[in-house]
Structure 1
């Protein structure tokens, strides 16, 4: 099954690299390079999954954007981060991401992890369906 994925990453090279990998395994990919563009995209489109860089430049960071996504859009998020300090990771975990990928990103590892991520997307969607039917 192909997934519609939004990649939010402010580093153009990393963004293109992730996009290429996700496209090569059959997905549809949209990109945004900052919080404002990501939220504008979400107001018009609902992807199946979001790959969110934690440090996306000026304005809101990826964790703050994910908080909005959780409240308003209910879309599963995979964090991308080169920052492994404990306080940032704790903040990130408090938003209940389905997965965290640490940079630098390895192509074969990302492809391998993607099947695990998809299992988590299915579980996330089951929980959302149960919550909506309660």
Structure 2
């Protein structure tokens, strides 16, 4: 299953890594943005199959706030990326019903394994 993906990540190095790694795995990266406002503008005119969303976005919308808007208004599945694994943050994030949560740091092997899991979950939602 090849996916069209939007990356929402405010760390440029992680953003570039994800773009390259996901493309190498055969997926299409439709775009990469670094704020909640840019994300909402992007999905008004583009429809990714899935969004990779950093929980700790800077700006007026946190990743968790943005996820709730995406879920309520656009119904696009999303995967959280997080370097912050404190219990209250993760519990709040889980309430938005993410498809999956990936902990940082991420390397190519880990991403490949995570993508197998993610594509299987997406297939089961479609069927």
Shorter-chain TM-score tier: over 0.9
Query: Which residue of the partner structure matches residue 118 of structure 2?
Result: 117
Counterpart of 1:10 in 2: which secondary structure? coil
For the residues of structure 2 that align with 1:125 and 1:50, how far apart are their CA atoms? 16
1:78-132 per-position Cα deviation (integer Å, ceiling 9, x unaligned): 0000001111000100001011100111210111110110011122334xxxxxx
Q: Does 1:107 align with 2:88?
A: no
Number of matched residues? 126
Query: Which residue of the partner structure matches residue 5 of structure 1?
Result: 5
Contact residue 76 and residue 124 of structure 1 kept, 8 A: no
TM-score (norm. length: structure 1): 0.90
Map residues 1-134 of structure 1 onto 2, 5 A cutoff: 1-29=1-29, 30-126=31-127
Deviation beyond 4 Å, 4+ runs, structure 1: none
Query: Gaps spanning 5+ residues in structure 1: where?
Result: 127-134
Greater gyration radius:
1
Query: Gaps spanning 5+ residues in structure 2: where?
Result: none
RMSD: 0.9
